[in-house]
Amino acid sequence: MLQKTIKNFTQNPKNDILSGLTVALALVPEAVAFAFVAGIDPLVGLYGAFMMGIVTSLFGGRPGMISGATGAMAVVMVHMIQKGNEVGDAMATPIDNLGLQWLFITLLIVGLIQISAGVLRLGKFVRLIPHPVMMGFVNGLAIVIFLSQLGLFKENVNGTQQFMQGSELWFMLGLVFLTMAIMFGLPKLTKKIPAALVAIIVVACITIFGGIDVSTVGSFIRDGGGEGLQGTLPTFQDQIFGLFYTLNGHWDLILSTAFLLAAVGLIESLMTLNLIDEMTETRGSGNRECVAQGGANILNGFFGGMGGCAMIGQSIINVNSGGRGRLSGAVAAIALLCFILFGAPLIEQIPIAALVGVMFMVVIGTFAWSSFRILNKIPLPDAIVLISVSAITVWQDLAIAVIVGVIMSALVFAWKNATMIRARKHLKDDGTKVYEIWGPLFFGSTQAFNKKFDFATDPEKIEIDFIESKVSDHSGVEALRNIANKYIDGGKQIKLTHLSPDCKTLLLKWNPEFSTIIEDSIDDPRYYVVTDIMDSEV
C-alpha cells in the first residue's frame, strides 16, 4: 500500500518537477485570460488556479492531471457576476464588486454539489460516454484551444484590439514556429528534459537578451486592464457571510449558476480523466476526482479564487513532459504561487509567442487525426455524432457537446435495439402455439412486440418463450401484461416460459397475478446457462 502511494505521488521526481514548472508557466496566461472573460481581477484567476491545482493534485482521482481556472466555467460565471455588480451599484449603500462576492458564495454550493456527486458514486457514469463522443470531444477541444490562441495575435491600438501587422506579426510567428520546432526536434535527441520548458526558456532568452520588443505575459495583463502578477497569499473571505442578505430575490440565479458550474466542471474533469487514462494506459477514480474538485471549489469560495476544474491542455502538456505523479501537479501549483509572490517581474518577461507555440503543439497532439481516416469506415450514426460533438464543442462548450453526444448515441442505440425484436412461431404436438421472442423488450420495442401476435386466429393454448429475450423496464412489463390480458379475456390459456429470475421479480412486483401464467418448471438446459450468465454479470 505504501509503495503504491509513493508511486502515485512520484514515479520520477526529476520529470515531475520539470514538467510541473512547464505547466506553471502555461497556467499564467490561461488563468489571466479566463479571469478577464469572467470580468474579475487577474489575481482571482491565479489564486483559483493555485488552489484548484494543489487540492486536486494531492487528493484527486488522477495522478498527473492538472486543474485550474478554465474558460468553460468562466463563461458560465459572466452573467451572475454582471448581475451582482448591477445589484451592488444600485443599493442605497453601494457595494463594490458584489458580483465577485456572489461568485465566492456560489462556489461553496458548487463544491457541495460536486462532493455529493462523488459520495453518491456518480463519477462512474463517465464510462457511458461512447468512443465517437470522446473523439468528437477531443477534436472540438483542439479546435477551441487553437481558436483561443488566435486572440493572442492581437494588440491594443488606441483602446481597441486589432491583429498584429508587419514586422511585429512576423516576429511573433517566427518565435511561435521556433518554439514548435524545439518541441518537435528535442525529443528526438533526448527525452530527459521537457521540450516545452526548454522551448520557453530559449525563446525568452532570445527576446530578453536580444532586446526584441514582443508581446509578453506582463504586457498581456496590462492590456487587459490588470496591474500585474505581484500579489500576496490568498486571504479568508469572511465578508461573504455578511452579504447573504443581498441574495434575497436572486437565489434562483445563484442556485442555477451553481448547478451549471458543478455540471460543467465535473463533465470536463471526468472527460479529461478518461483521456489521460487512455494516454497513460492506467485508470483513475472518477468518484475521488468529484470529491477533490468539490473540495477545491469550496476552498476557492472561502479564500477568494475563481474556482475551476480539470484543464485538458495543461494535463496533456504535463503527461507529455513526463509528469505522471501527484508531485507534478503539486509543483505546478506551488510554482504558480511563487510566481505570484516572488517571480512576477521575471515571469512577465516571457514572450506570449512561446506559450502560444506550446499550446499549438498541444493542439496537434490533441486532435484525433485518425478520425479523418476512419470517418467513412464507421457506421453513419457514429460519424454524425463525432462531427456533431466537435461542432457543438466549438459553437457552445464542452459540457453541452458531451451531453448532446451522449443523448444522440443513446437514441441511436435505443432505435437499433427497438428494431431487433423478433418472434419465431411454431406449433407443438399438443396444438400449443409457441412464440419464441428474440431481442430486448423495452420501451422502444413494445410497439413492434405487440404486432407479433395474432389474437383472432391463435389456438386455445399460447406459450411465449423468452429464452433469447429479456424484459428490461416498466414499458416491457406493461406490454406483456396487455398481451396476457387479451388472451385471457379471449378465453385462451397463456404461459410465459424461460423468464430470467430478474424478469420474474420485475413482473411479480408489478402484478402478483403473473405467478399464474409464469412457468417455473423448466427442463431446457439452455435456460440454466443463460440464467447463470446473467447472475454472474450482476
Based on the domain organization, do 128 and 266 belong to the same domain?
yes
Are residue 297 and residue 423 in the same domain, yes or no? no
Domain shared by 341 and 442, yes or no: no
Cell (9 digits) for 72: 468553460
Same domain, 131 and 235: yes
Q: Residue 6 has what pLDDT?
A: 54
Domain final position from 306, 321, 348: 348
Classify residue 217 by its DSSP letter.
H
* Nearest-angstrom CA–CA distance, 25 and 358: 10
In a domain, 439, yes or no: yes
Domain boundary among the residues 348, 363, 378 is at 348
- Domain membership flag for residue 217: no
Residue 317: inside a domain: yes
In a domain, 186, yes or no: no
Same domain (yes/no): 253, 120: yes
In a domain, 374, yes or no: no
Task: Give how many domains the chain has, as a whole number.
Answer: 2
What's residue 8's pLDDT? 67
- Tell how strand 67-68 and strand 309-310 pair up: antiparallel
Nearest to 53 by CA among 35, 18, 28: 28
Is residue 187 situated within a structural domain? no
Question: Residues 124, 241: one domain?
Answer: yes
User: Could you tell me if 115 and 234 lie in one domain?
Assistant: yes
Same domain, 428 and 528: yes
Question: In terms of domains, do 132 and 19 share one?
Answer: yes
Q: Residue 309 falls within a domain, yes or no? A: yes
Q: Residue 313: inside a domain, yes or no?
A: yes
Q: Of 314, 348, 382, which residue sits at a domain end?
A: 348
Domain around 122: 2-153+227-348
- Cβ atoms 309, 268 nearer than 8 A: yes
Dig out the grid coordinates for 394 from the structure.
466549438
Residues 94 and 237 in one domain: yes
d(CA 196, CA 335): 16
Task: Write the CATH number for 531.
Answer: 3.30.750.24
User: One digit per residue, pLDDT tens: the chain, 538 residues?
Assistant: 445 545 567 778 888 999 999 899 878 877 877 787 777 888 898 999 999 999 999 999 999 999 998 877 887 888 899 999 999 998 888 898 899 999 999 999 999 999 999 999 887 777 778 888 888 888 887 888 788 788 788 777 776 778 888 888 888 999 999 999 998 998 888 877 778 888 888 999 999 998 888 888 888 777 766 666 777 899 999 999 999 999 998 999 999 999 989 988 888 898 889 888 888 888 889 999 999 999 999 999 999 999 999 988 889 889 988 888 999 999 999 999 998 888 878 878 888 888 888 888 878 887 888 888 888 888 899 999 999 999 988 887 777 888 899 899 989 888 888 888 889 998 988 889 999 999 888 888 899 899 999 888 899 999 999 888 888 888 888 888 889 889 988 889 999 888 878 778 877 887 787 788 888 655 554 444 444 433 433 3
